[in-house]
A = this chain, B = another copy of it.
Amino acid sequence: MVEFKSANDLRLRGGKYFMAGISIDCVIFGFHDGQLKLLLSTVANVGDWALPAGFIYKDEHIDDSAKRILKERTGLEDIFLQQFYVFGDPNRCDNNITKNAFEKLQITPPNNNWLLGRFLTVGYYALVDFAAVNPSPDYFSDQYAWHDIHQLPNMAMDHGAIVQQALLTLRIHLRYQPVGYSLLPEKFTMPELQKLYETILDQKLDRRNFQRKMIGYGILKRLKQRREGVAHKAPYLYSFDLRKYHKALKEGFQTSW
């Protein structure tokens, strides 16, 4: 791991340590109070809103790069993080962040600067507990903020399209695998889980079908405890059986036909 003094230090010296031509963009979703949020940062020296991003050390596994970037940016470890797509339009870098930063700072980089060529980017999406994340500016970002998914600002390069693809993928994944564990507190009720799903899918779901499907995955534990302080019949609390969950993630979930 290499320490960089500033975003520009990385822009000028990073080519020695990172693979050229390929980056990682993290689409970090958080859930709070019935709303789906997205974590964005503003790029140092440029100011545009952008996805927290980073690069792959020359000897680093790409999945480790994604985990490291997420940790460097949010402080979070062991959360749900999934590769979902490679964005490979050659025009996506025409108006790139590095070029704009050099221009703003009136720096003339060497012609062969590693960041000025074409970059593909690999998208990873992460699901985090909104309340657990409070990122503070780092050398690459002036500020961080959570944005409502329905009110996103303009973003640098193709980051807006990357977010839409992540959201589409997340909605598809939700249909065949439970993804809620890192968005909810450890114990939750079935209505709370359903609310999470409805928020992500942006649609109402049938209560009985939903419950049958979730139970059918075989990875929820019903606890003896019930939720207290609820007006009507107190609902049961559930938690994820993480051992079974991770096994199923690896081997595929058995859904009914």
A residues contacting B by CB (< 8 A) are 19-22, 56, 58-63, 65, 83, 85-86, 88-90, 118, 120, 122, 168, 171-172, 175-176, 205-206, 209-210, 213, 252, 255-257
> How many subunits of this chain does the assembly comprise?
2
CB of B120 within 8 A of CB of A168, answer no
Residue of B nearest to A169 (CB): B252
B175 engages A255 (CB within 8 Å): yes
Q: A22-B120, A210-B257, A257-B210 are in contact. Are A88 and B56 (CB under 8 A)?
A: yes
Residues on B with beta carbons closer than 8 Å to the beta carbon of A89: 61-62
Q: Which 4 A-B pairs have the closest CB atoms?
A: A62-B88, A209-B257, A205-B257, A59-B90
Give Cα distance in the complex from A120 to B83, angstroms. 14
Task: Please judge, given known A-B contacts A172-B252, A176-B176, A205-B257, whether A118 and B88 are in contact too, CB under 8 Å.
Answer: no
Specify the chain B residue showing the minimal Cβ separation from A58. B118
> Contact check: which of B58, B62, B86, B176 meets A172 at CB < 8 Å?
B176
Complex partner residue of A62 from B61, B120, B255, CB under 8 angstroms: B120
